Every structure is written in structure tokens, then in C-alpha cells.
Structure 1
Amino acid sequence: MSRGTPGMADFHLTAESLERICDFLYRRTGMIFGEKKRYYIERRVADRMKANGTVSFTFYFGLLRANPAEGEALINACTVNETYFYREDHQLKCLSDDLLPELIRNKAPGDRVRIWSNPCSSGEEPYSIALWLLENWRLVDAYNVEIVGSDIDSHALAAAAAGEYGDRALSRLPGPVLDSYFNPTHHHRRRIIDDLRESISLSPANLIDRDSMAGHGRFEVIFCRNVLIYFDDAARKVAVGHLFDALVPGGFLCLGHTESMSRISDAFVLRRFPEAMVYQRPV
């Protein structure tokens, strides 16, 4: 590594240092980085070294391993939080048209239905689920619908709790939805109304950590979209095993449109609905 100030253009990780950082991230998140992501990782490591006032990678790596807060800060810097409201809304339609009607067959009015968005990023997905059900599921008030949003990134969870978004994140929402559930703040941003924001439970969770997953209990539906693509096969198997355990028998798992269970696990049943294909834990 060069001796330049971290954050400057000449900052460079040796192959060994890059491997150590990538191994650290993999063991804690399941996400795969490497030489192809060198620039991405170098920028974030440089920023963290600058924040800690050190130019020595060896010193920084020691700090990283010894200080859980710094480990969390680096993970926050390296996770991807690109999302927006009503993303892949065909799955939301499937939720209201097919999944929930099937799930409530053995429930009585007032019974609890739990839905988990994991990872939830900065909140767009769990809030989208709530908005969609309020607008499109006529039985939404007949059942105790609990929506939980979880993420490994503490900064993302803080943003979700704040519930404030810009035009890009909100661009797919119909005008009446924006007017009914959001209040203008400043600089073309809007904040979700308090009643809706406070109805979503937010908590940290790590897909490859059994304890942090099991601590959330079981759910009827889990949305885990566009994260397994960043894992290798071994980490995917671990994550999917934890997701399986987090579903009630007969519960549904919704993955991203580019993701498939075919090479990961045969524990699920593939269900094909008019709007989407989802995976079901056998009854």
C-alpha cells in the first residue's frame, strides 16, 4: 500500500490486504467482493482509515478486528442500498391477490399475519408493502398485519426510521398515494406520515447469522430480494436455510427477479402464480 493519505488518489491495497478485507466482509455478511471490486473496496477502506486518522492499513485492520463499531461502520459503507418504492410491484400484486388469500384460509379475523422485509435497505420495501396492502387488499383491516423491516446496515435502518425520501425513490407511487401518506418536508423530499411510519417494526438482522435471524420469530411471508446475488454458493445455502427456518409451514419466500433457488436448496416448493413465481415452505 502506498504511504499517501487515505482517501487520496494514490491509495492502494496490496493483493494480500485486499484479500484480508474481503475475507473479513465475507465472514460477517456473506457478500463476495474481490479483485473486480477493488476500486469500490479501496475507496471505502480509505474513507474509514481517514475517519480514524490512520495511514497504516495494518493498524486499521487491527482496529477493525478489535472494535465491533468499526466493523459495523465498514459494513455500512460496503453494503448496497439501491431501491425505490413499488419496486417489482408484480410481487406486491401477487401478495394481495394470491399469497394472503391462501394464508388466511386457516386464520380467523383478528389473527396475526407477519411479513418480513429482509434486507429492507432504507425502508422503501417494507413501507411499499404497507402502502400496497392499504390500497389493494380489502381485508387489510380484518387481520393483525405485522410488517418487520430488517437490515445488516445500521445507517440504512436509521434512514428507514426517519422515513424521508426524494423524488427518485417516490417516482413510481401514484399521486393519490403520495398525497395520502406523505408530507412534504424540504428540497422536494417527503416524509411518511407518523401513523404509517410507526406501524413498521425495524430491527437489525444478518442473513448468515443464525441467532440474529432466529430472534425475529416466524413469518407468513418473507421478501428477500436482490441480495443473494452478492453471495457465493456456500453463503447462499446458509442464508436460505435461515430463511426457511424463519417461515411458518406453508409460508412464502419472495426473491428478486434475477434470483433462483434451483442451485441453492430443494427444501422449497416453487409456486407459480399469475403475477409471480415464489417459493413455499412445505406444510
Structure 2
Amino acid sequence: MAISDEEYTKFCDFFYRKTGISFQLSKKYYVERRIIDRAIKTGSCDFREYFTFLRFDMSGEEMQVLVNSMTVNETYFFREDYQFNALVANILPAIIKTKRRSMPIRIWSVPCSSGEEPYSIAITILEKWDQADNWDIEIHASDIDSKILAEARAGIFGARSLARVPPAILLKYFTPRSEGSYQICEGLRGSIDFSLVNIIDTKQTKNITGIDVIFCRNLLIYFDDITRRETVEMFYQNMAPGGFVCLGHSESMSRMTSLFIPRKFGDTIVYQKPQE
């Protein structure tokens, strides 16, 4: 089964409209392999038949399976930990200056992948923020990949994910499993709200409001300029005044919008929504 450049372009336009993810011609081999695999598994005889099935599948199940196969989930615990250090040393202290004690602190990890990032956030707060017991902290974690969300909820991780976890933290928050894997404790698994969210779908993001901190690292590099701008504008609308956005080390808010104020904390730059 082969896919012509014209068919590839049609598929990429469709996938972009659905997910905001933009694939260039240089990615054709990567994308084509996954399309052909799904075409074979659904019994389609060629690309045209599969593409027709995909577009008119009212259940959306095939689109979700395809999205799961297309998305990259490379992550590990305490990745770019200078941002977690800034969270407890600078960001959270700044947030509580303007919050009443009765108000929750809301943190959103997007995309959360298999859960290493939101669990790292939770552990860092518990271990390093002396005000953790005095505030109601909500950690929301979302991804467009339903399969990876199931893995995040299960909280079972191998050696690669855990390579940077200190032995004392591993002993305190994880239980050994088979073949060198570990499962994070039930208390942390139950404390994080994992949900399936396509962030370019306004119907799915409209209820994610009052967010104080957003971790959105290494996602926007997969979007084009228009979708990047629309995404960070959505963040702005969904955030509480004075909230912060943490991007990946290669991403810069200044290239997308002037809505946020850059703030340098230690070794990282984060972006703050102005206080009203």
C-alpha cells in the first residue's frame, strides 16, 4: 500500500484541523507507516478507502486510535527540574500573595503523557514547599492520547522513566513491581485528575478555568504559528490573573503573543498573566 504526496497532503490537512498538529513532507515516512498500519487493521484495501472510513466514522473511535499512534510520548521524572524548583521557590509564593486561603491552587499539566510530569509536580510540592499542607492544591493533567492516559492513571514506570528519581523518593512514593518496574503510591495516583482533552477543541477546554500554573512543555513545537497563537490565547483566557505558564526550553512566548510578561526565576524563564 502506497500513499501519494497528494494523498499525504490531504491527510495532513485533515489531521491538522482535528488536532492542531502539523506534519511536513519530511515526516511522510513516519506518518505513512502509521496510516498503512491502521488501514490494514481496519480491513481497508487502500488509502482512499481508509481515509473515507476515518472521516465518516461517527463514533470517533478510529480517529482516537490514529491520534494515539501519531503522538510522541518521550518523558521522564523531574525532566527540566529547574522549572519544578522555580515552582516551589518563586511561582507558588507569588500566587498565594493574592489568594485567599479558601481558594484552591490549580495546576494544569498539558500534555501530561504517561504521567511523569504531573507526578513530579506533586512530589516536588510535597517535598520542597513548606506551605503544601496549608493550601488546597489541584493538579489537572490532560492529553490527547487515550492510551497514554490509561498508563498515567496506572502509574507504573520502568527504569528509563525513573532514572533521575533519588533513592529516598523512590522508597517513599513507589512500590516495586515485576521486572524492575515501580508503581507510584495510591495517594498520588488518586490526587491527580487525568482527562482526555484536545486543546484546540474549545468545547473541551472551556471548563478548564481559573488555572494558576500551566506546564505546557514541548507541545507547541508540533503546531504551526496560527495554532500556537490560538493555544496560548486560550491559556490566557483560562488562567487566573497573575498565573504562570512554563514552556519547554526551546519555546518562547514572545514569538507567539505579547499577552504574557516574561519572568526569570533562577535558571528558567516563565510567563505570567498580568494581574487585573
TM bracket (short chain)? over 0.9
CA offset at residue 273 of structure 1? 1.4
Counterpart amino acid of 1:55? C
Moved more, 31-40 or 250-259: 31-40
Aligned residue in 2 for 1:33: 23
Residue 61 of structure 1: CA displacement? 0.5
| Structure 1 match to 2:165 | 173
1:93 touches 1:275 (CA, 8 Å); kept in 2?
A: no
| Aligned mates of 1:179, 1:12 — CA distance in 2 | 51
The match for 2:139 among 147, 151, 172 is 147
1:252 aligns with 2:233: no
- Please, which of 32, 39, 46 is the counterpart of residue 56 of structure 1? 46
Q: Which amino acid aligns with 1:50?
A: I
Q: Residue by residue, what CA displacement relative to the aligned partner does 1:174-221 show, whole Å, maximum 9, x if unpaired?
A: 001111111111111111111110100011112212221122222110
The CA distance in 2 between the partners of 1:211 and 1:250, in whole Å, is 25
Structure 2 distance, partners of 1:235, 1:33, is 13
Asked whether the equivalents of residues 2 and 47 of structure 2 are also in contact (C-alpha less than 8 Å), the reply is no
Letter in 2 for 1:28: K
2:254 to 258, 262, 280: 262
Is 1:115 paired with 2:107?
yes
Q: Aligned-pair RMSD on alpha carbons?
A: 1.1
Aligned length: 273
Question: Alignment partner of 2:178: what SS?
Answer: coil
- Structure 2 residue corresponding to 1:24, chosen from 14, 19, 39: 14
* Residues 1:65 and 1:226: Cα distance change in structure 2 (over 3 Å): same
Amino acid across the alignment from 1:31: I
Is 1:96 the counterpart of 2:88? The answer is yes
TM-score normalized by the length of structure 2: 0.96
2:126 to 115, 134, 149: 134
**Which residue of the other structure, out of 234, 239, 244, is the alignment partner of 1:242?**
234
Runs of 5+ in structure 1 lacking a partner? 1-10
1:12 alignment counterpart: 2
Structure 1 moving runs of 4+ over 3 Å: 108-111
Given candidates 44, 47, 56, the residue that maps to 1:66 is 56
User: Which amino acid letter does the alignment assign opposite residue 56 of structure 2?
Assistant: A
Q: Deviations over 1:21-47 (max 9, x none)?
A: 111211111111021001100111111
Q: CA deviation at 1:229?
A: 0.6
1:184-203 map, 5 Å: 184-203=176-195
The superposition leaves residues 225-261 of structure 1 with CA deviations (integer Å, 9 ceiling, x where unpaired) of 0010111101111111111112101000000000001
How many angstroms apart in 2 are the aligned matches of 1:111 and 1:244?
A: 19
